Structure 1
C-alpha cells in the first residue's frame, strides 16, 4: 500500500452542505449508499494522511510530548485502519466498513483538548505562527473528517427533518433558545446571578445546517456574553439588574447572520487583534480560576478558555 505521504499529495474534495446531502434522503437505494461509502472510503484516508504528514513535520521535541504523541498515534492508526479496508462493492462490505468507521470517529472525538494541552506545554519550542498554522489545519481537517464520516453513518437512519447529520428545516431561534437557557443556568450556578436574554429578528427562519455546529458556536459566544455581563455587573455592584443578552437573527438572500450583543464592557483594544488566536485567553490563571470559580460553569469550559481554542474552533464551524 502507498505510504501516507503519497495519500497526502492527493487532492481533497471541497466540502459543503450541498455536497453532504447530494446522495439524497434516507432510506437510500443500494446504489446511493454504495456511492456514499465509496466517496467516504476514498476521501478520509487522504485527509488523515495530511494530518499524519503534518505531525511528522513537527519539531522533534514537540513530537515527544505525550499528548501530541498520543494524538499522532491515534491519527496514524485511524489512517491505517481505514485505508486497509478493501474496495466497497457489496452491501455487506458497506456494513462492515460503516461499523469500523463509526468506531474510528469515536476514537478521534477528544483530540482537540489533548492537543491543546500538548501545545500549551510546548509553547516555547514553536513560534506562534507555526502553532497557529498547525492547529488551524488540524481543527479544520477534524471538522471535515467528522462531517464526512458521521454523514455516511447517519445516512443509515431515517428522520423526516434530516439528511444524515444535516437538519433540513433547522430553526435557529429554537436552538438558540435552548443554548442560551443552558448557559444562563450555568452562569447563575456560578455567580448566583445571570442576565436574561432576548431573541429577535427573523425568528421563523429555517435553514439547512448541522445543528451541533451551530450549538457549539452559540454556546461559546454566549459563555463570553454571560460571563462578561455578569462580571461587569458585579464590579459595579449591579448584579440584580443586569442588562439582557440580545441575539438577533437576520436572513439574507444567500445566507443567515446571527448577532450576539451584550453590555459587558466590550473587548479591550489590546485584546481585539488576538481573539481568534490559539492559546490566547483573557481568563485568569488556572490556580486563581480554580480557587475563585471552581463551579460547573468554569469546569465545563475551563480547558477551552485556558487553551484559547473556543473562539478559533467556533470560527471554523462558522465557515465550514
Structure 2
C-alpha cells in the first residue's frame, strides 16, 4: 500500500452542505449508499494522511510530548485501519466498513483538548504562529473528517427532517433558545445571578445545517456573553437586574447571520489580538486575582475556567 505521504499529496474535496446531501434522503438505494461509502473510503485516508504528515514534521522534542504522541498514534492507527479495507463493492462490505468507521470517529472525538495541553507544555519549542497554523489545520481537518464520516453513518437512519447529520428544516431561533436557557442556568448556578436573554430578528427562518455545530458555536459565544455581563455587573455592585443578552437573527439572500450582544464591558485592547489563539483565556488571570475569594461568585467555577480552545474551534466550525 502507498505510504501516508503519497496519500497526503492527493487533492481533497471542498466540503459544503450541498456536497454532504448529494446522495439523497434516506432510505438510500443500494447504488446511492455504495457511492457514499466509496466517496468516504476515498476521501478519509487522504485527510488522515495529511494530519499524519503534519505530525511527522513537528520538531522532534514536540513529537516526544506524551499528549502529542498519543494523538499522532491515534491518527496513524485510524489511517491504517481505514485504508486497509478493500474497495467497497457489496452491501456486506459497506456494513463492515461503516461499523469500523463509526468506531474510528469516536476514537478521534477528544483529540483537541489533548493536543491543546500538549502544545501548552511545548510552547517554548515552537513559535506561536507555528502552533496556531498546526492547530488550525488540525481542527479544520477534524471537522471535515467527522462531517464526512458521521454523514455516511447517519445515512443509514431515516428521519423526516434530516439527510444524514444535516437538518433540512433547522430553525436557529429554537436552537438558540435552548442553548441560551442552558447557559443561563449554568451561569445562575455558578454565580448566583444571570442576565436574561432576548432573541429577535428573523426568528421563523429555517436553514440546512448541522445542529451540533451551531449549538457548539452558540454555547461558546453565550458563555462568554453571560460570564462577562455577570462579572462586569457584580464587580460594580450593580443594583437590580443585569442587562439582557441580545441575539439577533438576520436572513440574507444566500446566508444567515447571528449577532450576539452583551453589556459586559467589551474586550480589552490587550486581549483583542489574541481572542482566537489556542490556550489563550482571560479567565486564568482573573482566577489568579481572586484566588482568595471564598464567595459564591468566585471565578474558579466550571463555567469560568475555560480551556482556551472554545473560540478557535467555534471559528473553525463557522468557516467550515
Q: TM-score range by the shorter chain?
A: over 0.9
Change (3 A) 1:7 1:60: same
Give 3-state SS (helix, strand or coil) of 1:284's partner. helix
CA distance in 2, matches of 1:39, 1:210: 20
Contact 2:286/2:299, CA 8 A, preserved across alignment: no
More moved, 233-242 vs 296-305: 296-305
More moved, 275-284 vs 39-48: 275-284
Change (3 A) 1:165 1:33: same
Change (3 A) 1:33 1:292: farther
Tell me what 1:106 maps to: 106
Change (3 A) 1:289 1:60: farther
Contact 2:284/2:305, CA 8 A, preserved across alignment: no
Contact 1:74/1:108, CA 8 A, preserved across alignment: yes
Shift of 1:303: 10
Shift of 1:271: 1.4
Change (3 A) 1:134 1:2: same
Structure 1 gap segments, 5+ residues each? none
Give 3-state SS (helix, strand or coil) of 2:276's partner. coil
> What's the CA shift string for 1:124-183, capped at 9, x where partnerless?
110001001100100000000000000000000000000000000000000000000000
Change (3 A) 1:180 1:80: same
Tell me what 1:143 maps to: 143
What count of residue pairs does the alignment treat as equivalent?
320
Structure 2 gap segments, 5+ residues each? none
More moved, 102-111 vs 293-302: 293-302
Contact 2:217/2:314, CA 8 A, preserved across alignment: yes
Shift of 1:72: 0.3
More moved, 275-284 vs 206-215: 275-284
Change (3 A) 1:54 1:258: same
Contact 1:304/1:310, CA 8 A, preserved across alignment: no
CA distance in 1, matches of 2:298, 2:170: 30
Contact 2:190/2:301, CA 8 A, preserved across alignment: no
Change (3 A) 1:103 1:301: farther
Give 3-state SS (helix, strand or coil) of 2:157's partner. coil
> What is the TM-score of this pair, normalised by structure 1?
0.95
Give 3-state SS (helix, strand or coil) of 2:169's partner. strand
Change (3 A) 1:144 1:297: farther
**1:75-94 correspondence runs (5 A):** 75-94=75-94
Structure with more of its chain in helix, by fraction = 1
> What is the TM-score of this pair, normalised by structure 2?
0.95
Change (3 A) 1:132 1:294: farther
Contact 1:113/1:304, CA 8 A, preserved across alignment: no
* RMSD of Structure 2 on Structure 1 (CA): 2.4
Contact 2:283/2:306, CA 8 A, preserved across alignment: yes
Shift of 1:308: 2.0
Tell me what 1:260 maps to: 260
Contact 2:200/2:248, CA 8 A, preserved across alignment: yes
Shift of 1:122: 0.6
Give 3-state SS (helix, strand or coil) of 1:189's partner. helix
> What's the CA shift string for 1:73-107, capped at 9, x where partnerless?
00000000000011000000000000000000000
